[in-house]
Structure 1
Amino acid sequence: QPTKLCSQLASCQSRLAVSLLRQSFSLSAPMAEYHLSAQLHGHEDDVRGICICGDVGVATSSRDKTVRFWTQHPEKKREYVLSKTLVGHSSFVGPMVWAPPSDRFPEGAIVSGGMDTLVLLWNLHTGEVVGTMKGHTSQVTGLAIDDNGDIISSSMDCTLRRWRDGNAVEVWEAHKVAVQTVLKLPSGELFTGSSDSTIKLWKGRTCLHTFSGHADTVRCLAQMPGMGILSASHDGTIKLWALTGQPLLEMIGHTSLVYSVDAHSSGLIASGSEDRSVKIWKDGICVQSIEHPGCIWDAKFLDNGDVVTACSDGVVRIWTTDNNRFCSDEELATYTDIISQYTLTRKTVGGLKLMDLPGVEALQVQGNNDGQTLIVREGDNGVAYSWNSKELKWDKIGEVVDGPGDAAQGQVYDGAHYDFGKLISL
């Protein structure tokens, strides 16, 4: 049975690659940590997507309906400047793909897809739309360019479309529910990820194989050089698959939906999540978690190993391990303060918003009855006190923390529910 034998051989080769990867990591020096390098301000709403345009620049898409193209500062190499703002979509823009320079596009081109159901082709030299592809009936979710220049798009309308010279030359239902992403490998394989929690491998309009293993929507796919493909899922995990469909590694660490995943030639993996973090993975282990003031819609590696992140606060950030490209101490202090303030506004203790709690000055007011409980904000924590009517003072009970389960099942304090059982003993 040649087919079965080939499949087994491919599986063995993929597992050998994983083994070699592990050995290379174990022999390598400890990985340097990523630090903030630059912040790109310009978008007016969530940054939804990132497209690395070779060594030409970086394109970003946003809920503000624009695509923005950034190039390196001519003198300050760690900084980027806004080169062009591409205006043409009527709703928020998501996926993008870059077409390298050609006779038609000496500076390259960008293809973008939006919630407006359109696929637009942009001339980077002029910043103008030179192609509008209409046909999808719902949001465009993924884009790829084939070797012959065809554009392939995926959509929430469950279809894949192949565009040639602006016309749809192929349309087919790829999944029974929304297609969330499409990936074309240099070796020719075409993959789709869907809200049905599966990944499909295609040859033309024929599905060759269905990868099953995720428990929720497959949101993003990326190539893992020399090994297979990566998938990011709403189930909170990232998986590495052999091209034959065998799951090779599972990366667990995010605490919410994972929206993006990307890999670098060094073997490092970056993932972005609703949990406001970008995680850096090495050999399937999270080696660093980078906190942001908002959810991470996308994260991509530059060739030099730097990581670009797209955040819901409207800012594009670049992170590096090269101390020659670290941002200034002042910029880092400002960013650290933003993270601290954002965390405070979002933090809950025992089901209560930390910022809604009274300060320690509330302890200066006497209680109404013995055993009355009062929760106050002390720094970044919520602390519970009990009124001692005999000694006329508030006795500290302990710090209130969130825990598993529904906080609404706890008791009520000032109209809100909290759980007395989640106290840290003093």
Structure 2
Amino acid sequence: MSSSVDPGHFFQTDASEATRARRAAKSGNKEGNPIVLQSKILNAIADPFSPDSIYIAESASCIRRINMETRDTKTVYRGPTAPVTSVAIGGAGGNTIFGGCWDKDIWSWDKNTRAVGRRYKGHSDFVKTVICARIGDKDCLISGGADAKIIVWDTATGDRLHVLRDKSDNMMAVQDLALDPVDSTPTGVLLVSSSSDPHIRRWKIGLTSASQVLDTDISTEGESAKDTILEHETSVYNVIFSGDEEDEDLWTASADGSAKCLSRGKNWDVEETYTHGDYVRAVVATADWAVTAGRDEDVKIWDRSTGKLCHTYAGHYQEVTGLVLLSDKKVISISIDGTIRSWGLDRAALDKARIEREEKSKGVVKEEKVVPKKSLMTEDEEAELAELMDSDDE
């Protein structure tokens, strides 16, 4: 017997029915020149070998390379039978694609042949984030999971070099990882992690040792130790470094509704705050702009010189899960609505977008229907994925 995944075939509360109707109506827009796929898009990174391409992780159990210029979507890396939550590129010569998966493993593929390679097993819950690093003479993979573990792997052998947890054992599900480009060295990296609690942690990782960084905070009362950066009220979904090459600051996005720039020169105190207004899933920054996006479906562009909102791109009709800068003039957004959209960041593009929005609000511009493809997931899988994404939102 076949089962339906159409939410219209199931009991709906007034609120959920209104949300479904609103999203169906909003899906009619073509803002951001959407590329429409069949599944929810959970993560994206820039292709380090192509300025016009990105890699995405899909709930349809695959990783896909997207050329934003040609709109080619045919390069797909398959193998898992569960949603792929995250993607990274590394290994010798950058020739390996890695995907953190719902099945608790990290999958790998040859970038060129797309053949499945080694599977990295060690997490006891969903793998939420993966990044690659060169430590000493080894290419390494670093993963964070819903099991609150950070694991450092030798990519060539699959050996686990380190398994890290907060020394207080209070760390919750790991949400994101970033390498500090300033404090990392050829023999060891400085890793920053965020989690489902409000604390941002730092880790010093070498081949033979790894430990949590303990800072010393000098105050009038004397010396007090602190082992985390605490500037948010709840879950921190995204951490990135951005800025001048030798003085990159730490940017954060949180479920408290804000994105922040934490100043390296001020020992990670807040330098800039942008109040998006709902859970912020992603943040990127250029010299001129801060860009935030999240649960409210909007991509917001903030003028860093004034701290004020410059423009809101409102093309998505479900939660935005990631942002990728292709250049200082273009940002890419991904969403669980299954679309990938491109937004201009130069002032001419922003001015044009504002004019078009004003005309549309007056009924001048007629929308054309974008028909999303049917999800490949069952109703139970959709619910479980939603629980996975929102397990840190209490």
Q: 1:110 aligns with which of 97, 101, 123?
A: 97
Match of 1:173 in 2: 165
Cα pair 1:46 1:312 within 8 Å, conserved: yes
Match of 2:219 in 1: none
Match of 2:88 in 1: 97
Cα pair 2:91 2:132 within 8 Å, conserved: no
* Segment drifting more, 230-239 vs 203-212: 203-212
The answer as to 2:298 corresponding to 1:277 is: yes
Q: 1:305 aligns with which of 329, 336, 353?
A: 329
* Paired amino acid for 2:255: H
What is the TM-score normalised by the length of structure 1? 0.62
* Paired amino acid for 2:89: W
**Matches of 1:184 and 1:250, distance apart in 2:** 22
> Which residues of 2 match residues 367-386 of structure 1 at below 5 A?
none
Match of 1:383 in 2: none
Cα shift at 1:193: 0.5
Cα shift at 1:337: 4.9
Match of 1:143 in 2: 130
**Matches of 1:304 and 1:320, distance apart in 2:** 9
**Matches of 1:310 and 1:206, distance apart in 2:** 34
Match of 1:62 in 2: 58
Match of 2:181 in 1: 186
Cα pair 2:99 2:106 within 8 Å, conserved: yes
* Paired amino acid for 1:236: G
RMSD of equivalent CA atoms: 2.7
**Matches of 1:336 and 1:100, distance apart in 2:** 45
**Matches of 1:335 and 1:193, distance apart in 2:** 42
The answer as to 2:147 corresponding to 1:157 is: yes
> Which residues of 2 match residues 258-269 of structure 1 at below 5 A?
258-264=280-286, 266-269=287-290
> Which residues of 2 match residues 212-231 of structure 1 at below 5 A?
212-226=230-244, 227-231=248-252
Residues 150-197 of structure 1: per-residue CA shift (max 9 Å, x gap): 111111101110010222111121353211111112222310111121
**Matches of 1:293 and 1:338, distance apart in 2:** 13
Runs of at least 5 residues in structure 2 that lack an aligned partner in the other structure: 1-29, 185-189, 214-226, 371-394
**Matches of 1:159 and 1:192, distance apart in 2:** 11
* Paired amino acid for 1:263: A
Higher relative contact order structure (alpha carbons within 8 Å, sequence separation ≥ 6): 2
Match of 2:33 in 1: 38
**Matches of 1:117 and 1:194, distance apart in 2:** 17
Cα pair 1:89 1:118 within 8 Å, conserved: no
Cα shift at 1:242: 2.1
Match of 2:212 in 1: 207
What is the TM-score normalised by the length of structure 2? 0.67
Distance 1:290 1:155, change over 3 A: same
Larger radius of gyration: 1
Distance 1:184 1:321, change over 3 A: closer
**Matches of 1:198 and 1:45, distance apart in 2:** 32
Q: 2:73 aligns with which of 82, 85, 98?
A: 82
Cα pair 1:256 1:274 within 8 Å, conserved: yes
Distance 1:224 1:335, change over 3 A: farther
Cα pair 2:87 2:98 within 8 Å, conserved: yes
Distance 1:128 1:334, change over 3 A: farther
